[in-house]
A and B are shown apart, each in its own frame.
Chain A
C-alpha cells in the first residue's frame, strides 16, 4: 500500500512535468514528446544501473522514482498515436522519421544511461 501511495505522488510530479512541457511547447508537440521520452529513457536506465548503490533508499521510494516519476513522465501511447496522426495527415515521411528517431535514440539513450549508471557504481568500488 505504501508503494502505491509513493507511486501515485511521484507519478503526479512526473505527469505534471510532462503536462508543463507539452503546454509550454505545444507548437511542436512531436519534438516535445520525443524529448520527454528520450530524457526519461536515459534517466530510468541510469537509475537502474545505479540501483546496487541506492540500497540506502527504501524499495517504496525507488518504486516511486522509477515506476512513478519516470514511468509517468514518459508515454508510449502518445508516441504511437502521434505516428498514426502523422500517417493520417499523409505525412508518411515525417511519420517514419518520428518513429525511427524515438525508437533508435530512445534505445541509444537508455544504453548510455545504463553504462553511465554502472560506471558511477564502479567508481566507488
Chain B
C-alpha cells in the first residue's frame, strides 16, 4: 500500500509542477483572452495521454501506474470548476462556454487517445 501511495504522490508532484510551469507559459501567450486556455489545453492533452496509455500499456505495471500518476497530477478538476465559478462572476456566457468546451473536448480527447 505504502509503495502505491508514494508512487501516486510522486507522480502527482511531478505532474503538478509541469502543470504550473505550462500555466505560466500559456498565460503569458494567451494573456489577451478571458478564457483560461491553459487549463483547457492541460486537461485535454492529459485526457488524451491517459487514453493512449490505458490502451497501450499493461494496466497493472509499475511503469503504467507511475506515468498515469503524473498525468493524474498534471490535470486538475478543481481548477476547472473554480475557474468556471470565477468566470461566472464576470461574464456568464464565457463561463458556460468554458464549462462545456472543457467537458466535451476532454472526453473526446480520452476517446481519441484510447481508440487511436
A41's nearest neighbour on chain B, judged by CB, is: B81
Which residue of the partner chain, among B7, B84, B111, contacts A84 with CB atoms under 8 Å? B111
Considering the chains assembled together, what is the distance between the CA atoms of A84 and B36 in angstroms? 25
Considering the chains assembled together, what is the distance between the CA atoms of A7 and B12 in angstroms? 10
Does B92 sit at the interface, judged by CB under 8 A? no
Nearest-neighbour CB distance to chain B for A43, whole angstroms, equals 7
Are B8 and A76 within 8 A (Cβ)? no
Instruction: Give chain A's interface secondary structure class.
Output: helix
Which residue of the partner chain, among A9, A44, A77, A102, contacts B46 with CB atoms under 8 Å? A77
Considering the chains assembled together, what is the distance between the CA atoms of A96 and B57 in angstroms? 26
Known: A44-B78, A84-B107, A111-B85. A72 touches B7 (CB 8 A): no
How many residues does chain A have at the interface if contact means C-beta atoms less than 8 Å apart? Answer: 54
Does A61 sit at the interface, judged by CB under 8 A? no
Are A110 and B82 within 8 A (Cβ)? yes
Instruction: Give chain B's interface secondary structure class.
Output: helix
* Cβ contacts under 8 Å, A109 to chain B: 81
Q: How many A-B residue pairs have CB under 8 A?
A: 188
Nearest-neighbour CB distance to chain B for A31, whole angstroms, equals 15
Are B5 and A19 within 8 A (Cβ)? yes
Does A59 sit at the interface, judged by CB under 8 A? no
Nearest-neighbour CB distance to chain B for A51, whole angstroms, equals 11
Which residue of the partner chain, among B72, B85, B102, contacts A15 with CB atoms under 8 Å? B72
Considering the chains assembled together, what is the distance between the CA atoms of A108 and B97 in angstroms? 17
Does A101 sit at the interface, judged by CB under 8 A? no
* Cβ contacts under 8 Å, B73 to chain A: 11, 14-15, 71-72, 75
Are B17 and A15 within 8 A (Cβ)? no
Considering the chains assembled together, what is the distance between the CA atoms of A23 and B84 in angstroms? 30
Are A22 and B16 within 8 A (Cβ)? no
Considering the chains assembled together, what is the distance between the CA atoms of A99 and B104 in angstroms? 11
Which residue of the partner chain, among B4, B17, B49, contacts A77 with CB atoms under 8 Å? B49
Are A107 and B85 within 8 A (Cβ)? yes
15 chain-A/chain-B pairs, Cβ below 8 angstroms: A7-B17, A8-B16, A14-B73, A15-B12, A15-B15, A16-B6, A19-B5, A70-B78, A72-B13, A72-B16, A72-B73, A74-B78, A75-B72, A79-B77, A110-B81
